[in-house]
Structure 1
């Protein structure tokens, strides 16, 4: 390389990290947050109205078991297939494909005539909406300055949880008026309406540089972000001190540098997302069938609990760059286990203690999962980032097949609510132990760097 060429090296990572937070960064945050909100709504509304769907289709909640299972299988398949596609052709086109397909399939589900038809439609939909979270987080992390990256991802994840809240509001206020079909109507209209928003944001620069540093679209994209950028022509684009991406691409996560981290993250996601799927799909039914809490009443309780999840997510985002993230996440899941177990023993009437336990559970579960997502996002380089997050999530979706199936078994065995909640608390303790182990292995580092305090 000549001296002149060396002088024209352009560090895209530094360009992104040194930028102030401006309209373009805010727009990326808004669009990704909107997409994740829709994803959260579609992912969680089914569990909230599950008894109503079963009744509408002429069955009982147990008959919805295949629907839940097919949805989780589809989500697992999508988590393995779609993120690598985003690492190959780009974040935006894959996000657009996902919005389009699961929007259409959700509207189709309105016309379901039986459990089998609904199971197939939810299974295929799951392939597409399960990919929204890892791809959206990858895009946001790659277009946000490092000093605000964890915070921005936490804000987007609050909006993902906001979709959960919106599904609760739909259950509490619209279900009796419009019937079980309202969930699928809103779940179809929202993604289709959001499609044009993707035109407002750029493709990830990190993706373009790691795919092809000579891509002629890189320089115009940089100048569109900052017209004063020192682009003169002939620059050699690179990401930080990494001149070459991993030659194995996504498969490098199984190499010696990332292998142990990958295995531990997969185990973490198996238990964490499995437990989330179990509680999201069956907790309202448990509370109605065994705790005597009407479905609409419990939906209101869960709406209150959402604010605990939002607080837990934002707190996690603020603290992750200020304290050791591994010990922080471990603490979250220990408290999470206590809160889950307490739900089986506290009075389920309009009692402050029960609602407080729901708030604490949401604070720790949602905030703790935010921490796990951030560990996965920050722990892999761009050429494997969507795949790294997505495949960890895919293993989690396998847990999302196993755990809800056990939930059906518990329902059919008519186990006491106290026993079910005690058993459900155990995975949270396992998660805490795994996060602690990952912290010991990584010596408190994420992606090979120490966590430094953020600038004010």
Structure 2
């Protein structure tokens, strides 16, 4: 097939895909992958609700606690880079099945951890699976959606990650005081059951198939979606021309292309957003329950309850973000959320963070605002890269998520060695403000445009 013909075939398939309503198979795919993402969120934060018990049971020092927290994020960094690269070459679904299997099996390993060192090892291996699952899943769901309501469609899926975080709090609050810290990891074994429908009942991403020149397979997927729309009397307008210059099969993207004149500035912008937002949020998320327990000496159920309530508020804020971000716009939302978060964090520093109610009342709105940024960055990353780079770009970008998540606990431990928690909040406020200014200056707007138009 000539280049011109391939481009015409690819453009025709994309046009047919863009005109589709949200069909039953797409909803099924979003739900199935979303459940895997739910347990990824659960698994990521389950440790935070086990640590308040382990810190005393094993006599953990702040440095050892930081090492346990960071080991999972280090594994996620490795998994995000490797599996993001692999998904560009063998497809989204096979990689998703591998990643889900890894993080579920390693959850079983954590149940039998006998020391801080063994838990560090199991969390590192588990992190490889969780780190690979989210960027690949996000690329897959992004590629199923059309331009018109892509933000809402994608973020309602990504919301399941936050539901997983919140569920971890609820399960921790209910089970850990009664059944022990191991109960958090027993629940984390459930995702093994998700591998079968992922592997055998879902179709590969049509955009990935088009990008690899597998037009016949892509046509079968698109035709199946069109048939579903007709069977359920959904509107199916005529395909509109795609305004991208070319839609053709290209080799899988490379790291070098991510630093080309078009994609290089986008890469640096995303890396700054990933690092800054996640350094603060995952630092707060994993540290605050232990802070309430060890610094303010709250009962275990109250310490976990504060963490659970904070994630619940963030879940509501993220739902509002999902419904409105297409209208507000990505750039405006991210700038506002980051700069807003700096205000209560600064207030905590100025007031001395002297009691748990003050910390909860001011850290919660900052966390909720930043959560709308962190959970939607996979949407934004998918929009700023083409199909051949989408999974790799999200994987490398989320590697900075892991770097920020690793840095957060160590920064907290280092600052707290001086005897005060207040400077931690000032540090986070400065990071939030600087990240917000970077977005204000350099972030492109992507709302309402086809992926191929945004990233040829």
Question: Structure 1 81/446 Cα, relative in aligned 2: closer, same or farther at 3 Å?
Answer: farther
Query: Which residue is 1:205 aligned to?
Result: 206
Contact 1:95 1:136 in 2 (8 A): yes
Q: Give the Å deviation of 1:39.
A: 0.5
Q: How many residues were matched structurally?
A: 436
Query: Which residue is 1:40 aligned to?
Result: 41
Cα distance in 1 for partners of 2:67, 2:175 equals 25
- TM-score norm. by structure 2 comes to 0.87
Please give the secondary structure, in 1, of the residue aligned with 2:107. Answer: helix
Cα distance in 1 for partners of 2:146, 2:330 equals 19
Question: Structure 1 239/204 Cα, relative in aligned 2: closer, same or farther at 3 Å?
Answer: farther
Query: Which residue is 1:173 aligned to?
Result: 174
1:281-307, CA deviations, whole angstroms, 9 ceiling, x for partnerless residues? 212222222234334213222333233
Contact 1:274 1:403 in 2 (8 A): yes
- Which of 315, 336, 345 is the matching residue for 1:331? 336
Cα distance in 2 for partners of 1:283, 1:305 equals 10
Contact 1:378 1:446 in 2 (8 A): no
Question: Structure 1 287/229 Cα, relative in aligned 2: closer, same or farther at 3 Å?
Answer: closer
Q: Give the Å deviation of 1:370.
A: 3.3
Q: Give the Å deviation of 1:418.
A: 2.3
Cα distance in 1 for partners of 2:6, 2:58 equals 68
Tell me the C-alpha RMSD between the 2 structures: 3.0
Q: Give the Å deviation of 1:245.
A: 5.0
1:364 has 2:365 as partner? no
Q: Give the Å deviation of 1:193.
A: 2.3
Contact 2:7 2:248 in 1 (8 A): no
- Which of 289, 309, 313 is the matching residue for 1:308? 313
Query: Which residue is 1:287 aligned to?
Result: 292
Query: Any gaps of 5 or more consecutive residues in structure 1?
Result: 231-237
Question: Structure 1 31/339 Cα, relative in aligned 2: closer, same or farther at 3 Å?
Answer: farther
Question: Structure 1 250/309 Cα, relative in aligned 2: closer, same or farther at 3 Å?
Answer: farther
Please give the secondary structure, in 1, of the residue aligned with 2:79. Answer: helix
Query: Which residue is 1:392 aligned to?
Result: 397
Please give the secondary structure, in 2, of the residue aligned with 1:20. Answer: coil
1:423 has 2:424 as partner? no
Q: Give the Å deviation of 1:128.
A: 1.2
Cα distance in 1 for partners of 2:44, 2:219 equals 38
Q: Give the Å deviation of 1:200.
A: 3.2
Query: Which residue is 2:98 aligned to?
Result: 97
Cα distance in 2 for partners of 1:9, 1:68 equals 45
Question: Structure 1 67/383 Cα, relative in aligned 2: closer, same or farther at 3 Å?
Answer: same
Query: Any gaps of 5 or more consecutive residues in structure 2?
Result: 231-241
1:26-58, CA deviations, whole angstroms, 9 ceiling, x for partnerless residues? 112211221111000011111232121233335
Question: Structure 1 334/7 Cα, relative in aligned 2: closer, same or farther at 3 Å?
Answer: closer
Cα distance in 2 for partners of 1:162, 1:9 equals 37
Question: Structure 1 343/154 Cα, relative in aligned 2: closer, same or farther at 3 Å?
Answer: farther
Query: Which residue is 1:183 aligned to?
Result: 184
Cα distance in 2 for partners of 1:404, 1:445 equals 33
- Which of 362, 375, 382 is the matching residue for 2:380? 375
Please give the secondary structure, in 1, of the residue aligned with 2:310. Answer: helix
1:201-243, CA deviations, whole angstroms, 9 ceiling, x for partnerless residues? 21100011101234x433332333234999xxxxxxx996533
1:20-419, aligned counterparts within 5 Å? Answer: 20-187=21-188, 189-198=189-198, 199-214=200-215, 216-227=216-227, 241-245=245-249, 247=251, 249-251=253-255, 252-343=257-348, 345=351, 348=355, 355-414=360-419, 416-419=420-423
Contact 1:316 1:370 in 2 (8 A): no
Question: Structure 1 119/4 Cα, relative in aligned 2: closer, same or farther at 3 Å?
Answer: closer
Contact 1:14 1:240 in 2 (8 A): no
Query: Which residue is 1:233 aligned to?
Result: none
